[in-house]
Amino acid sequence: MKIERISGSGGSKGSQPGLTAEDHNGDLFEAGAFGGSRVGSVSQQRAAAAKRGQRRHRRPGSRARPAATARPGRESTKKPSVKVPFLHGSDAVNRRLKIVLVIGGAFFFLWVALKAMGQDNFWPLLAAPILLSAWYFYEAGALLSLLLTGLLLVQTPFEKSPAIIIALVTFASIALGLGWGQRRQKLAHRHTLRSSITDSLTGLYNYGFFMDCLNREMHRAERYGGSVTLVMFDVDHFKQFNDRFGHQAGNEALKAVAVTLKREKRDSDIAARFGGEEFVLLIPGDESAGIETAGRLRRAISQARVPVGGASTAITVSAGVASYPLGASSREELLDKVDQLLYVAKKSGRNRVSVAHRKQRLAVS
């Protein structure tokens, strides 16, 4: 396969020396000042990158220490915590469990007061667990608490006057209305929150939320070690696609790319619409993982079909891959590097993945 040469002179983006582009068969090419040369497959690149990382992070003359081995004289004093699976989960589960225990305790207290102690004047306190159940568990909680209240009153010895029945019906009406309102309010809050962090057209995360995730992942990599890889995709010839098929077809093309990204990415990866026809994928891992993922997504997108006026057509994307901290030292440098690599992929023929030259990656660190 013929590979276009990328000149190493000049100051434009297309003249960045020492860049690598992926051809249509998934192999990587180094594009330097003297043209392109094949450097191996993606799997070979990953193995070479792992060896380079081991040599780079090891000081001269030092021996590697297993990651699970503690330093002598500095044994950890933290005792392992014993967790009960039912009581330890997410914060939302723990909070709801506490609420259930409070409501159950209230019913038990009222049962003791009404049946065992014969305190007939305590029955108005039944409104508390009923309304509390409706507030946190909506209509289902209100109905369940009303059922428990009915069972409790049936077993109590005091006389059930019409006033008590009317009061309980009032409690039930208020509880059901409160539960309905709370459920509608929570759904509206979720919709507002989802709209504030997602793109309305594609359903992916938007630019603002993505930048927050990028800052968080870079801080995590800086504090705990590891790498963060950024992949930027751009739809090839998107302006010509819009001019030929119309903006509605262009929107369908963007949706097709978004659907493919969401389907093919890992659960730990964060996909977002960066702007226009550009998409980004944030990968908590090294650059080799980003290269493999970008190549796989590029091939999947090229196989997707976009509906156009009763028929369908195909689209392709170009991508640039850069990592932190091996390929960049700051967020701005990472974004600028991946943008340059995307431009190189465009200039090299499109429908390919571009990554930094190995010497250039090592020089940055």
Give me the CATH number covering residue 223. Answer: 3.30.70.270
Q: Record the tokens describing residue 51, joined without a space.
A: 């060896």
Q: Strands 28-32 and 317-324, how do they pair?
A: unpaired
Domain final position from 155, 173, 197: 197
Query: Do 168 and 289 share a domain, yes or no?
Result: no
Q: Is residue 247 part of a domain?
A: yes
Question: What is the domain count for the chain?
Answer: 3
**Catalytic residue (choose from 30, 252, 277, 287):** 277
Given this model, what pLDDT does residue 340 score? Answer: 95
Query: Do 289 and 308 share a domain, yes or no?
Result: yes
Query: Do 189 and 214 share a domain, yes or no?
Result: no
Q: Is residue 80 part of a domain?
A: no
One-letter identity of residue 213:
C
Work out the mean pLDDT of the chain and round it to a whole number: 75
Domain final position from 154, 170, 197: 197
List the helix and strand counts (H, then E) for the chain: 10, 10
Given this model, what pLDDT does residue 96 score? Answer: 72
348, 350, 359, 334: which is closest to 31 by C-alpha?
Answer: 348
What whole-number distance in Å separates Cα of residue 356 and Cα of residue 227?
15
Q: Is residue 192 part of a domain?
A: yes
What whole-number distance in Å separates Cα of residue 206 and Cα of residue 198?
5
Query: Do 192 and 284 share a domain, yes or no?
Result: no
Domain final position from 139, 170, 197: 197
Q: Is 277 a catalytic residue?
A: yes
Q: CB-based contacts of 94: which residues, under 8 Å, 6+ apart?
A: 87, 88
Given this model, what pLDDT does residue 72 score? Answer: 38
Given this model, what pLDDT does residue 322 score? Answer: 95
Given this model, what pLDDT does residue 304 score? Answer: 94
What whole-number distance in Å separates Cα of residue 178 and Cα of residue 203?
32
Query: Do 332 and 265 share a domain, yes or no?
Result: yes
30, 26, 27, 29: which is closest to 17 by C-alpha?
Answer: 30
Q: Is residue 66 part of a domain?
A: no
Weakest-pLDDT range from 2-11, 56-65, 243-252, 281-290: 2-11
Query: Do 318 and 358 share a domain, yes or no?
Result: yes
Q: Is residue 67 part of a domain?
A: no
Given this model, what pLDDT does residue 348 score? Answer: 92
Query: Do 215 and 284 share a domain, yes or no?
Result: yes
Q: Residue 89 carries which DSSP code?
A: S
Query: Do 356 and 213 share a domain, yes or no?
Result: yes
Confidence of residue 213 (pLDDT cuts 50, 70, 90): very high
Distances (CA, A) of 215 to 196, 230, 320: 18, 12, 19
Q: Is residue 298 part of a domain?
A: yes
What whole-number distance in Å separates Cα of residue 233 and Cα of residue 298?
9
Q: Residue 228 carries which DSSP code?
A: E
Query: Do 286 and 350 share a domain, yes or no?
Result: yes
Q: CB-based contacts of 55: which residues, under 8 Å, 6+ apart?
A: none
297, 292, 272, 291: which is closest to 282 by C-alpha?
Answer: 272
Residue with more model confidence, 18 or 153 = 153
Residue range 216-222: average pLDDT? 94
337, 356, 321: which is closest to 233 by C-alpha?
Answer: 321
Query: Do 255 and 347 share a domain, yes or no?
Result: yes
Query: Do 113 and 256 share a domain, yes or no?
Result: no
One-letter identity of residue 80:
P
Q: Is residue 257 part of a domain?
A: yes
pLDDT over threshold 80, residue 3: no
Q: Residue 105 carries which DSSP code?
A: H
Given this model, what pLDDT does residue 30 score? Answer: 40
Distances (CA, A) of 293 to 225, 286, 290, 308, 361: 21, 11, 5, 28, 19
Query: Do 244 and 275 share a domain, yes or no?
Result: yes
User: What proportion of the chain, given as a percentage, has pLDDT over 70?
Assistant: 68
- Phi, psi angles (nearest 5°) of residue 179: -65, -40
Range of the domain at 254: 207-364
Q: Is residue 267 part of a domain?
A: yes
